Homo-oligomer: A and B are copies of this chain.
């Protein structure tokens, strides 16, 4: 498998698997441009041609859909090292915006494609990124399909603490509304559940964007 290449290589070099994503940014750095985006600025819109592929260098990006009546659903948050915007079809199926001031590597799809012939490892990294995004999506479907509001918040906090690589202290880049639209809840429910987790002593909320995971094992047991 593609993954096996990547795994062997990274084990061989003593690199942690989580660093693979950085490798993708490195492999592509020469092919594209680093573009800064302001908070809440659009990176691409739904139904626009998907001629470019994106890698987050710093900051955070949300990809989302909006239904005809205005309901919004955030499909994913993309953090440093994550690839987004790659489609099988000609157009984007989602829109993308910077959650906070972010730097994004923008690579022409055709350039990435032609590079595939020259760099044999690139194909593996590309597949690995796609597969990892899919795995996150699968885990998230379980959250959306079968978990309660409290469990969703716990799952979200644990996911973010892993991905932001912070042991107990989390600086969330996104607003309550973003969290709600990611978890399939309303902003009020998100707020209430966080308050409740704080009252129960599982987390601390010194400021609204800063979360401290006080009892990780209790949180994990709430995560089913």
Contacts and interface: CB of A to CB of B under 8 A. Distances in A.
Interface of A: 1-5, 65, 67-69, 71-73, 75, 86-89, 93-94, 109-110, 112-113, 116, 123, 126-128, 130-135, 137-142, 144-147, 181-184, 224
A181 B130 CA distance: 25
Contact of A1 (B3, B86, B144): B86
A59 B31 CA distance: 44
Contact of A138 (B109, B137, B224): B137
A110 B5 CA distance: 11
- Give the interface SS of chain A, mostly helix, strand, loop or mixed: helix
Given A2-B116, A68-B224, A138-B137, A86 B144 contact: no
Taking the full assembly, how many copies of this chain does it contain?
Answer: 2
Contact of A126 (B73, B116, B127, B139): B127
Contact of A224 (B69, B86, B182, B224): B69
A131 B2 contact: no
Given A1-B86, A113-B4, A132-B88, A137 B126 contact: no
Given A88-B135, A130-B127, A141-B137, A73 B146 contact: yes
A61 to B, nearest CB: 15
A145 B126 CA distance: 27
B2 A184 contact: no
A145 B144 contact: yes
A5 B123 CA distance: 13
Contacts of A144: 141, 144-145, 184
A10 to B, nearest CB: 12
